Chain A
Amino acid sequence: MTVLDTPAKEPQITPQLVADHGLKPDEYERILKLIGREPSFTELGIFSAMWNEHCSYKSSRLHLRGLPTKAPWVIQGPGENAGVIDIGDGLAAVFKMESHNHPSYIEPYQGAATGVGGILRDVFTMGARPIAALNALRFGDPAHPRTKHLVAGVVAGIGGYGNSFGVPTVGGLVGFHTRYDGNCLVNAMAVGLAEADKIFYAKATGVGLPVVYLGSKTGRDGIHGATMASAEFGEGAEEKRPTVQVGDPFAEKLLLEACLEIMAAGCVVAIQDMGAAGLTCSAVEMGAKGDLGIELDLDKLPCREEGMSAYEMMLSESQERMLMVIAPGKEDEAEAIFRKWGLDFAIVGRTTDTLRFVVKHKGEVKADLPIKELGDEAPLYDRPWVETPKQQRIDPASLEISATIPGALERLIGSPDFASKRWIWEQYDHLILNNTVQRPGGDAAVVRIEDGPKGLAMACDVTPRYCEADPFEGGKQAVAEVWRNITAVGGTPLALTDNLNFGNPEKPEIMGQLVGCLRGIGAAALALDFPVVSGNVSLYNETHGRGILPTPTIGGVGVLADVEKMATIAFKETSEIILVIGETTGWLGQSAFLSEILDREEGAPPPVDLALERKHGDFVRELIAEGLVSAVHDVSDGGLLVALAEMAMASGIGASLLAEPAEVNPHAFWFGEDQARYIVTVSGGEKATVFKRAESAGVPIAKLGSTGGDKLTIPGERPIVIDALRERSESWLPIYMGAGMM
């Protein structure tokens, strides 16, 4: 490939080339107006990177503005590599979630691995040491020919990267639905710990300071899918420009240690990882945020391959790289640290006072652009959208149900969405760092901070079925469920990160889903004092014109004052009283029961009363803190009986349940998905106290039964043997993955 080496042979800027860069004609007009001339080839590449959906959020930005992002404990909200919250004792939690959907579909192992790599880098770029990782995965129908291959590859890739890097992967979610057949979702979340007054930012300060490149060398990884395919690059282009990057967790681990070491040594003024759109995005961001210009000399760039052009260097998405502005006089110290860790270190540019982004290569100026306008003047769309039509509430009496209650429970527990995900999380090292106080399988993971007693609780959730039926309620529900899960372990929820996965925003219905979900997320975040501190948007998740289910994954972090007081879902003793907090009306619309047992995805999803969420959650958290309850589980999809079964399976202790109240349809009572509910157990001695407390707090509470035996029994129904239930739960995934897998 010599074509790109000689400037004379750089492609002509034609309408086709502009289109291949994903720029619309009016967007190109905007560029011409902004710079007053035709852009060079390299400049066109830079614009395409800065103005694509991924970097500019041009379809979502307008609506993201409505999210609540502030609270007294928020140190850094959206706008940096990750959000930062104060967790007391001089410490901060740094976290974010990010998608790697498309690469994971193409190359599941590397796609998922580099997704994990990217989010870990976002966290340690801020000066935090990653202490936990989570992942939210959505696959197509298990029967779809590609699903098994994707599950195997994605899980191995997440484990392969996280295990080697040395972060415990402590939680997440996995769901299956035919609407993800052509677009799996891989949303990775990382949580780090830093000293609250030692957070590092992308904003550069100081003129004439060295801009330093660190980490692995630059190759032709991931350079622009669209341009790659274009004819100008000739034969063999594909061989030369892989769109999928290969992750190197080993290099990332070294990069982590080296970065934290030079940060501690006071060498770093500003730092930005090279993620999507690599050098372009990171350099522009550092300069623009600091009101400075940046001048890069690409002759100094450490390259993995020969003959790379300026265009390629600016757009490469090679992994495990960082850009920094180094403090005056600290270059040698910083370099020595990087050399010790065996990483590349090169001064590739300097800050200027010109507010220009200048790129030089082989004695030529390849780009000279106004740095602030590159970001600030990016297109912003108020795309047309239509509201999702409301659906009717489903009346349980109208349903024809042949399944018995025990039969329905067994089917649900053995179904892909509910079956145990042990096969997956056992491939993740969830114990490294020796702080995992609550392992996978509970409501939220809990990770001890340093030697304790404080801990962080974290969880991610979303119910896409709800979001599709009613984006606003679905958005609220996703936030509420995360908040509830953190509460259920005894945590005080502090802040959330969101990962908005949707179809094509140019379709008004899809845009309506995005807008609706964001409003719901905003409303819930506000009502629950659970601000949004970071996030990511992934649009165009569509195949053959059909979008995925709207999937705004929410990841939340909360704090526990004392992990010894943490609650878990397992029943602890026999003869304890089982109570449900919150009201059970038997809401079956969009429930798992309706979908899995009756094969209908219909009706309005359960409404979320945010005031009740808060009241009930605060009440449960108090009970936990005072040690009044022995087991706690939030009630979410699958309803009461699934929650009870999970508590029983986690302990091996069964329960004798009372008959459902006469006014509620039995199936609706046991499987309905009313929100704002928790199941708790108390000893006989504490029952009166808890009831009295509930009454004075105005919280509905009712007895469901008592623990004991090795079965779940409901009057008039066949007993459900816990061991057999557990066997169903544990066997689905291994059997599914077993046949013919590598």
Chain B
Amino acid sequence: MKAAVLLFPGSNREGDVARALKHVTGVEPAIVWHAETALPAGTDLVVLPGGFSYGDYLRCGAIAARAAIMEAVRAHAARGGLVLGICNGFQILCESGLLPGVLVRNARLRFICREALLKVERIDTPFTRRYAKGAVVRFPVAHGEGNYTADAETLARLEGEGRVAFRYVMADGKRDDTQVLNGAANSIAGILSEKLNVLGLMPHPENHVDPLVGPTDGRALFESIAGMLEKA
């Protein structure tokens, strides 16, 4: 599998995701500078990492979404290539229109770093096929603006088309939209594009791949992608 991790000024979890990819797949991903206009030939997966691209100034992800490399990402996605946006990467995908909706400030207005429980909503996607059906997993969140918002029509469409990939749940495994840690609509933690080849999610699977530093629930996400591409 050939993965490319984009690097914007102010990205800061590119190393974490590159390390996770290496850990799980054994292959070092390419790091691609935002000012490039093309992805490395043969790229299967594009990752938009977490961080504070452009300081999160103006709106999170807004300035990065207009970077030169994003044209290539758009084309890659249109071809059906896989795109994974984590945290700031998710914000960039929304700002660039590759995913609908927007991530606004956490309802309690504070940055929050903690482990969150997530329900894997479907396992027939390139990103989740190694999870068990209905699995509840633990990924950490680390964001100040992860409160997913979209208009009612968009939300209805996302739900109707089964495009919610991950949802925050409570300790009992059930969702409670009134208690969700960041206020996200419908407890949404991650969503998919129409063709299921673009995933944006706020929590950080890349920080839960190594037993030495915590749970390893994030591994299966990277294994899913790798396994999927091997088969292809």
Residue B10, interface by CB 8 Å: yes
Among A164, A427, A428, A433, which residue has its beta carbon within 8 angstroms of that of B55?
A: A164
For B142, the chain A residues whose CB sits under 8 A away are 163, 429, 431-432
B56 lies within 8 A of A164 (CB): yes
Give Cα distance in the complex from A629 to B52, angstroms.
Answer: 42
Give Cα distance in the complex from A1 to B209, angstroms.
Answer: 58
For B13, the chain A residues whose CB sits under 8 A away are 166, 432
B54 lies within 8 A of A427 (CB): no
Q: A159-B111, A163-B52, A166-B51 are in contact. Are A433 and B9 (CB under 8 A)?
A: no
For B10, the chain A residues whose CB sits under 8 A away are 164, 250, 253-254
Interface 0/1 of B1-14, CB less than 8 Å to A: 00000000110110
Residue A407, interface by CB 8 Å: no
B54 lies within 8 A of A250 (CB): yes
For B61, the chain A residues whose CB sits under 8 A away are none
Residue A354, interface by CB 8 Å: no
B55 lies within 8 A of A249 (CB): yes
Interface residues of B in 132-186 (CB under 8 A from A): 140, 142, 144
Give Cα distance in the complex from A563 to B211, angstroms.
Answer: 12
Among B20, B57, B113, B209, which residue has its beta carbon within 8 angstroms of that of A428?
A: B113
Interface residues of B in 48-78 (CB under 8 A from A): 50-52, 54-57
Give Cα distance in the complex from A430 to B112, angstroms.
Answer: 10
Give Cα distance in the complex from A464 to B15, angstroms.
Answer: 40
Residue A616, interface by CB 8 Å: no
Q: Quote the shortest CB–CB distance from B19 to chain A (angstroms).
A: 6
A426 lies within 8 A of B114 (CB): yes
Residue A719, interface by CB 8 Å: no
Give Cα distance in the complex from A495 to B16, angstroms.
Answer: 29
Q: Quote the shortest CB–CB distance from A337 to chain B (angstroms).
A: 13
23 CB contacts below 8 A, A to B, read A156-B110, A159-B111, A164-B52, A164-B55, A166-B51, A166-B52, A249-B55, A253-B9, A342-B9, A426-B112, A426-B113, A428-B113, A429-B113, A430-B113, A431-B140, A431-B142, A431-B204, A432-B207, A434-B19, A434-B20, A434-B209, A434-B213, A742-B109
Residue B44, interface by CB 8 Å: no
Residue A564, interface by CB 8 Å: yes
Interface residues of A in 170-213 (CB under 8 A from B): none
Closest to A160 in B: B111
Residue B121, interface by CB 8 Å: no
Q: Quote the shortest CB–CB distance from A134 to chain B (angstroms).
A: 15
Q: Quote the shortest CB–CB distance from A148 to chain B (angstroms).
A: 14
Residue B206, interface by CB 8 Å: yes
Q: A166-B13, A437-B213, A448-B212 are in contact. Are A248 and B55 (CB under 8 A)?
A: yes
Closest to A741 in B: B109
Residue B210, interface by CB 8 Å: yes
Closest to A155 in B: B110
A249 lies within 8 A of B52 (CB): yes
Closest to A453 in B: B212
Residue A341, interface by CB 8 Å: yes
Interface residues of A in 238-257 (CB under 8 A from B): 248-251, 253-254
Q: Quote the shortest CB–CB distance from B180 to chain A (angstroms).
A: 15
A250 lies within 8 A of B110 (CB): no
Give Cα distance in the complex from A655 to B16, angstroms.
Answer: 39
Q: A164-B56, A250-B52 are in contact. Are A432 and B12 (CB under 8 A)?
A: yes
Among A166, A251, A429, A437, which residue has its beta carbon within 8 angstroms of that of B111?
A: A429
Give Cα distance in the complex from A156 to B111, angstroms.
Answer: 8
Residue A357, interface by CB 8 Å: no
Interface residues of A in 332-367 (CB under 8 A from B): 341-342
Q: Quote the shortest CB–CB distance from A696 to chain B (angstroms).
A: 34
For A432, the chain B residues whose CB sits under 8 A away are 12-13, 16, 50, 142, 207
For A156, the chain B residues whose CB sits under 8 A away are 110-111
For A249, the chain B residues whose CB sits under 8 A away are 52, 55
B207 lies within 8 A of A434 (CB): yes
Give Cα distance in the complex from A432 to B12, angstroms.
Answer: 8
Give Cα distance in the complex from A253 to B8, angstroms.
Answer: 11
B212 lies within 8 A of A452 (CB): yes
For B144, the chain A residues whose CB sits under 8 A away are 163
Q: Quote the shortest CB–CB distance from A152 to chain B (angstroms).
A: 9
For A342, the chain B residues whose CB sits under 8 A away are 9
Give Cα distance in the complex from A272 to B54, angstroms.
Answer: 25
